Each structure stands twice: as C-alpha cells, then as structure tokens.
C-alpha cells in the first residue's frame, strides 16, 4: 500500500477561533508530518507534530515560513488593534508578508480566511481590507490559492467580542429562515473545509462562499 505523501503545514492565527480548530485538525490528519504555527506567545496545548515558532511579524524571518501549504487565519478588530492602520497591518500586511516569503521558499498552496462581502472597492473598511488582501494574493500567482469567505462565525472564543457574541446569538435564532449564503457558520466547518480542499489537488484560484462551506 502506498502511504500518503506527508507534508509540512504552516498556520498563521493558530490562537483564533478558526485557527485553533484548524491546527487541531492538521495535527490529527495523515497528510502532515509537521505542523508549524507562527505565534507571539505559546499556545496552551502541545502535540508531537506541532512546532510552535516565536515569530516577529514586524521583522519576519523568511526561513521560518518554509512549508508546503500555508493556512492564514489571521484576523483582528479595529477596537482590539487600536486603529484602522493597526488593523490593516494585521489583516493585510502580515498576511501578505508571509505569503511572499512562503512562496519564495517553495510553498505550493496558500489558504486564507477573509470574509463574506470582501471587496477592495467596498465602502466598509473591514470588507475593503479583506478584498485588498484577496486581490494582492492573486497577483502573487500561487500554484494554488484558496479563499474562504465565511459569514458570522459560531464557536467559543478565548477573547470577548461583545458585538460578535450578540450578532452570533441573533444569527443562531434566525438561521433557519436566513438565505444559505448569509447564515452563521461553525468555525470548525470552515477549518475542516480548509483542510479538505488543500487535499483535492486543486490548481489556480478558488473562492468558497459561506454557503459552500456549510457542506464540509
């Protein structure tokens, strides 16, 4: 029997809602012999195949970005970041920096979580930044670029985001009557979609809207 080729995965945003779920999926999968996470502070859990790398996103070391597949789950809020400029640095600049360095070091696939409504021409700042990162990642011309645009996320966050908790609660209540594309989605479904699609030998750019993610 031929064993699957085992590869290295690299995760950005492993402490977040989707990133945490994804990292657990990755270390439990048969596809990756090594799962690297770029962190500012150590995660609260360990695994034999998990490699935690203290990483300065403001002074990125390209050698630390070496991986076959890169999964970007970075995301913050303007309130937490402190300003629109700081928000853009996390959600746009850090993602682009690692994408460029990873590609230069041989990465074949880049999978990123953006948002429903991502559009570089949007008047909504959040959607505009998400659209800009999608646009500029496309220009990098990765062999495989996978973009995931979830709606409101369901799941247990380690940090308190009152507005998102209220929105998620309302969304759960009305989810059955909301059109599929706009329904809230479990973070674990998004994470599972990221893992499964990277194993489908896709090439080029593929965008997965929230309703498609519900199928995973």
Residue 41: Cβ-neighbour burial (10 angstroms; 0-12, 13-18, 19+): exposed
* CB of 146 closer than 8 Å to CB of 206: yes
Q: 107: closest CA among 182, 194, 180, 198?
A: 198
Catalytic residue among 7, 126, 128, 205: 126
Catalytic residue among 36, 94, 130, 142: 130
* 126 is annotated as an active-site residue: yes
Rounded Cα gap, residues 72 and 109, in angstroms: 11
Find the distance separating the first CA and the last CA of the chain, reported in whole Å.
28
* 128 is annotated as an active-site residue: no
Q: What is the set of active-site residues?
A: 126, 130
């Amino acid at each position: 029997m031929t064993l699957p080729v085992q590869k290295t995965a690299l995760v950005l945003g492993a402490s977040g809602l989707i990133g945490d779920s994804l990292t657990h999926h990755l270390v439990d999968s048969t596809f990756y012999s090594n799962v690297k996470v770029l962190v500012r502070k150590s995660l609260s859990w360990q695994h034999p195949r998990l490699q935690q790398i203290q990483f300065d996103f403001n002074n990125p070391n390209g050698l630390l970005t070496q991986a076959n597949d890169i999964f970007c789950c970075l995301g913050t809020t303007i309130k937490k970041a402190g300003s629109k400029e700081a928000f853009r640095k996390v959600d746009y600049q850090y993602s682009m920096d690692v994408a460029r360095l990873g590609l230069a070091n041989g990465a074949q696939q880049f999978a990123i979580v953006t948002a429903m409504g991502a559009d570089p021409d949007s008047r909504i700042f959040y959607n505009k930044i998400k659209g800009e990162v999608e646009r500029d990642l496309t220009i990098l011309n990765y062999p495989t670029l996978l973009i995931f645009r979830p709606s409101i996320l369901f799941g247990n966050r380690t940090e308190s985001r009152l507005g998102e908790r209220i929105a998620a609660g309302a969304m759960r209540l009305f989810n059955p009557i909301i059109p599929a594309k706009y329904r809230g989605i479990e973070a674990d479904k998004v994470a599972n979609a990221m893992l499964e699609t990277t194993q489908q030998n896709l090439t080029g750019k593929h965008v997965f809207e929230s309703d498609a993610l519900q199928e995973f």
